[in-house]
Structure 1
Amino acid sequence: MAARSSLYTCVNCGSQVQELFKQYSPAVLKLVHCGKCHKIADKYIEYDPVIVMIDLVLLNEQAYRHVLYNSPSQNHWRLAVILVLFEAYSEWMTHKDVKSSGKSHTSPYDLFEGEQSFYFECLQTVVGSSMLLLLTYTLTWLRWWVHAECRPQNYRNIILWNALVLSNCGKFLMIPSLIWGEIGTETHSLFIMGYTFLSQLKVYSVVCNTSKVGAGFIIFFGLVAKYYLCYMISNMKLQ
């Protein structure tokens, strides 16, 4: 891991540490213990990326801290683009299946209209995700304006954005539906929504150092605003 000037974060208690390991030779390094909790600051340095990914799927707070604070964050914007396209494609396929269920053939006009609908779904997803991010930022800063002592020392806006992007990886659970052709089944959709909400709740509580109740309150209102805005945009399209 390359050295950097900013502080790292203990994956156990969230405190800042000067370094994660001491390297004595190219083949020998010793992991540093946190000065507050006296545990190894970041055990994931020695772990295989597959193990880290499994812990992320299991919503492990230590794994989230490792990825968000102690790992390079250069690819989060690529992940954000992929998630937007994937969510838009899932919604587009759902609406496409509903519209085409009563048609016996597809005309060139229907193909053009379908492509236009996909671009509209992409725009709708971007606007909805931006609303979620904006409302989350607003409610967070309002909370810290009232309780300034609650703000973590290692908080940065880009970290919160990275966390919200990472928490949306539950959208990839739609892949089985896309493969099997069972788009939009109610049970599967509710499971994905519940898992994504829990993931967002976890990462927000990790980044903003708040209780699960406080994190759930902010994330819930952010999601309500997102889906309400998407609903209004869909109605505008139908009109």
Structure 2
Amino acid sequence: MVACYRCIECNEEAQELHRDYSHGIIKITICKSCQKPVDKYVEYDPVIILIDAILCKVQAYRHIILNTKINIHWKLCIFCLLCEAYLRWSQLQDSQQIVDPTDIIRYAKEWDFYQMFGLASLELAAFLSGTFFFLWLTNKDFIQKKSNCNTLLIALLLSGYGKLLVIPAVIWEHDYSPLYIGLIKFFVLASNAQAVRVVLNSSRRFALSVIFVGWMVEQVTACIFEQLKLTL
């Protein structure tokens, strides 16, 4: 039987997470390498898993990325981009003029929001491109397998969930600070690094290097579009 799971403690391959016996009896599989449960989170409440993921525990990331089949990564990505675009758009509007927040029709006609959404999407694409390009330079054996690329892409999109933290800033209207936004960005990058570390089974230093390169490409792309905007 082909192993399709990973031990969340030592990352060794496993054929199953648990075994179902008769009368509803379920036994958690023990890892042959570390002698610990392959995935203790299979019997945990989702809230506990989410808390451990927020704390960036590598075990929780292995459970989510390697041992579960989550198909909401694209929906989550679009929603995060919408939140980020709205935040940028609100900052742009606030710097230009005061707009009545009850004027829904005016909001719907604001093309600047769609521009912010497009810019956020391009920056995300630049980040992903920089990340994959750096891996292509440093780890071609990994990047040449399509399944590995798909897993890494899903992991990076899912680990961007921290962008949802801008929702409180939207709810509080414009009562937020650059420090709050900076902390959100730092958390997202740390989460991305943890996802890369899990998928590649690499060191923390290498994962941080991968994310740093992707972030630099993203920043360069943002600067280029900012310069183009000023010249037009």
Shorter-chain TM-score tier? 0.7 to 0.9
TM-score, normalised relative to structure 2: 0.88
The structural deviation recorded for 1:166 is 1.8
State the one-letter code of the partner of 1:131: A
Among residues 79, 90, 104, which one is paired with 1:82 in the alignment?
79
Aligned equivalents of 1:183 and 1:164: distance in 2?
A: 29
Deviations 1:95-114 (A, max 9, x none): 1111115x8x89x9x94896
State the one-letter code of the partner of 1:54: I
The structural deviation recorded for 1:222 is 0.6
* Residue 173 of structure 2: aligned partner: 181
Identify unmatched segments of 5+ residues in structure 1: none
Trace 1:111-150 onto structure 2 (pairs within 5 A). 111=106, 115-145=110-140
Aligned equivalents of 1:73 and 1:112: distance in 2?
A: 34
The structural deviation recorded for 1:211 is 1.4
* Residue 33 of structure 2: aligned partner: 36
The structural deviation recorded for 1:38 is 1.6
> Does residue 1:13 correspond to 2:40, yes or no?
no
Which deviates the most, 73-82 or 229-238? 229-238
The structural deviation recorded for 1:231 is 2.6
Deviations 1:184-205 (A, max 9, x none): 5121122112211211111111
> Does residue 1:91 correspond to 2:88, yes or no?
yes
Decide whether the 8 Å contact of 1:93 with 1:183 is kept in 2. no
The structural deviation recorded for 1:237 is 3.0
Decide whether the 8 Å contact of 1:94 with 1:183 is kept in 2. no
Q: CA RMSD in A?
A: 2.7
* Residue 229 of structure 2: aligned partner: 237
Aligned equivalents of 1:37 and 1:217: distance in 2?
A: 29
Aligned equivalents of 2:54 and 2:29: distance in 1?
A: 26
* Residue 164 of structure 2: aligned partner: 172
Aligned equivalents of 1:30 and 1:97: distance in 2?
A: 57
Decide whether the 8 Å contact of 2:127 with 2:214 is kept in 1. yes
The structural deviation recorded for 1:20 is 0.8
Paired residue total: 228
TM-score, normalised relative to structure 1: 0.86
